[in-house]
Amino acid sequence: MPELPDASALPSRLTPRQFDRWNDLATASADADRDVIAPFTGEAFAAAPESMPEDVERAVADAREAQSRWASRGFDARTDVLERFHDLVLDRREELLDVMQLETGKSRGDAYVEVMDIAMTVRYYATRVADQLASERRRAALPGVSKARVHYDPVGVVGVIAPWNYPLTLAIGDAIPALLAGNTVVLEPAEETPYTALAIVELLREAGLPHDAFQVVTGDGATLGDPLIERVDYVSFTGSTAVGRQIAAKAGEELVDCSLELGGKNPIYVRPDVDVDTAVDRAIGAAFSNAGQLCISGERLYVHEDAYDEFKTRFVDAVGDLDLGTEYAYGDSIGSLISQSQLDRVQRHVADARDRGATVEVGGEARPDVGPYFYAPTVLTDLPADATAACEETFGPVVGMEPVESDADAIREANDTDYGLHAAVFSADVDRARAIAREIDAGSVSVNDGYVTSWAATDAPMGGVKDSGLGRRHGPEGVKRFTEQQAISTTRAVPLDPVRGPTSLEAKVLAVGLKLWRHVPFLR
């Protein structure tokens, strides 16, 4: 049994006993555990149970057993449970924020965004899922003679594999529509963030979710991934492009459907007609929220040359004024990176940029005076196109800025990447900004905002093109992926008996009929 954490290592609202309770909620049978590090201090604060492949097998088997009973409850009963969960997340938010901050080192504001997001996601799907998945009539072979209906059935057990950067949103955000559609879920959270996932299980069960309908296997992703993909009926993965490719390969081998929400190298374009102060403010939000550890974060900033000098001066000044902090309290400071390896990656990108002649306008150094993994918000200019920070995802508080000559130049630069997750365009001319957005290869584009506008539009699909992923979350697309679609067609007469085949006269009549058919609007 993992030892209880020392109370002095915890924020004041959390108690060692709570961790004991959460540890019991993991599906883990071996007597093994894994240290969980608090990024604010770099110290282990608890040891979480280490699930093994046999635990995955048990979790999926139990989830499968529970699935038909959960599905048979119907939309209203399932919605009631998720709405109670919604209320519990809001009521217990301070405790949840503490857990998220403790294991990720993010600021309270960044953690709060996750609570809001879950409330919005539950509300959105709870009020729409019954309509989105209602059986529907489709156009039949011969209107009036035949009928076609489509039914949406749960796929069964959904495996959710989540990263550490938004441990609440990305662990349960996709599971919400999956559960509402009548599936059960086995969640594999990131090694760094088991306790937010276990806190979710506690709240879901308190809200009335049957015991086995949502289970969490904590431990090594590389060990648990294959056994999970071998057994579930759908895989919802969020994480890096490199691991996403492995998931896709394994899912292909198993012929299991999957969605892959992967990395980005997201561009921001600032047109010359903007209000510079507003654009500076929002670009800071785009680049430095969650210390830049955000898949839709802006890492490449293109500013029209007519506004470049003014924008650069104000942007660099404002970035230099940003505070870093380790408080378990609301405020406007930026949090820590999650780990030494994340700090190493950021330092590597900035060192490579310097070596290749880039200018560090502000930042460019670790901040061990604040905490072991803190890094100063950084702006780079003169960044060569082949620098690592120009083409690979940094996933930290670093943005490369450069002037562009025209909209066309900005679009060319924005698209010069293997990624295509998100983009932002700032302009007083909204129609022009929307037209530019249509030219950018990205799954979503925010106009006059860094990313919140896109993410919060829960009714609109969200996902990546190119190396940023496959499939979409949010909107009807985000729940239909968790269903099998069955089409049932009935007829009073078939137009053609395929065994007997048409006579030559029938073939002629049919050909004329098919030609005419195209011109009869009501039959098309």
Of 234 and 308, CB closest to ligand NAD: 234
DSSP states along 204-228: HHHTT--GGGEEE--S-HHHHHHHH
Q: Name the burial class of residue 505, with classes exposed (0-12), middle (13-18) and buried (19+) by CB atoms within 10 angstroms of its CB.
A: exposed
Instruction: Give the relative orientation of helices 430-439 and 407-415 as an angle to the nearest 10 degrees.
Output: 40
Of 260 and 280, CB closest to ligand NAD: 260
How far apart are the C-alpha atoms of 28 and 271, rounded to whole Å?
53
Instruction: Tell how far CA 322 is from the center of its chain.
Output: 26
Do the bridges between strand 266-270 and strand 422-426 make them parallel or antiparallel, or are there none, so unpaired? parallel
Which residues ranging from 369 to 408 are in contact with ligand NAD (CB under 6 A)? 393, 395
Which residues ranging from 401 to 430 are in contact with ligand NAD (CB under 6 A)? 421
Is 341 within 8 Å of 348 (Cβ atoms)? no
- In the complex, least distance from residue 395 CB atom to ligand NAD, rounded to whole angstroms: 5
Residue from 89, 99, 168, 190 in contact with ligand NAD (CB under 6 A): 190
Asked if 364 touches ligand NAD (CB under 6 A), the answer is no
Catalytic residue among 114, 191, 261, 393: 261
Tell me, letter by letter, the H, E, C secondary structure of 382-398. Answer: CCCCCCHHHHCCCCCCE
- In the complex, least distance from residue 196 CB atom to ligand NAD, rounded to whole angstroms: 12
- In the complex, least distance from residue 448 CB atom to ligand NAD, rounded to whole angstroms: 22
Phi and psi of 91, rounded to 5°?
Answer: -65, -40
Task: Select from 25-33, 141-149, 189-197, 379-387 the region that touches ligand NAD (CB under 6 A).
Answer: 189-197
Residues whose CB falls within 8 Å of the CB of residue 120, separated by 6 or more in sequence, listed in order:
456, 458
- In the complex, least distance from residue 184 CB atom to ligand NAD, rounded to whole angstroms: 19
- Catalytic residue check, 261: yes
Asked if 262 touches ligand NAD (CB under 6 A), the answer is yes
- In the complex, least distance from residue 163 CB atom to ligand NAD, rounded to whole angstroms: 3
Asked if 261 touches ligand NAD (CB under 6 A), the answer is yes
Of 191 and 407, CB closest to ligand NAD: 191
Is 225 within 8 Å of 260 (Cβ atoms)? no
- Catalytic residue check, 258: no
How far apart are the C-alpha atoms of 181 and 468, rounded to whole Å?
26
How far apart are the C-alpha atoms of 94 and 175, rounded to whole Å?
22
Which residues ranging from 212 to 251 are in contact with ligand NAD (CB under 6 A)? 221-222, 225, 238-240, 243, 246-247
Q: Which residues pair with 399 in a beta bridge?
A: 379
Which residues ranging from 118 to 177 are in contact with ligand NAD (CB under 6 A)? 161-165, 170
Interface with ligand NAD (CB under 6 A), residue total 29
Task: Select from 36-44, 87-95, 188-196, 329-337 the region that touches ligand NAD (CB under 6 A).
Answer: 188-196
Q: What is the largest CA-CA distance in the chain?
A: 90
Report CA Rg, the chain: 26
Here's the x/- map for ligand NAD, 464-503, by CB under 6 A: it reads as x----x----------------------------------
Which amino acid is residue 96, in one-letter code?
L
Q: Give the position of tokens 């349960």.
A: 172
- In the complex, least distance from residue 308 CB atom to ligand NAD, rounded to whole angstroms: 28
- In the complex, least distance from residue 421 CB atom to ligand NAD, rounded to whole angstroms: 6
Binding site residues, ligand NAD, CB under 6 A:
161-165, 170, 188-191, 221-222, 225, 238-240, 243, 246-247, 261-264, 295, 393, 395, 421, 464, 469
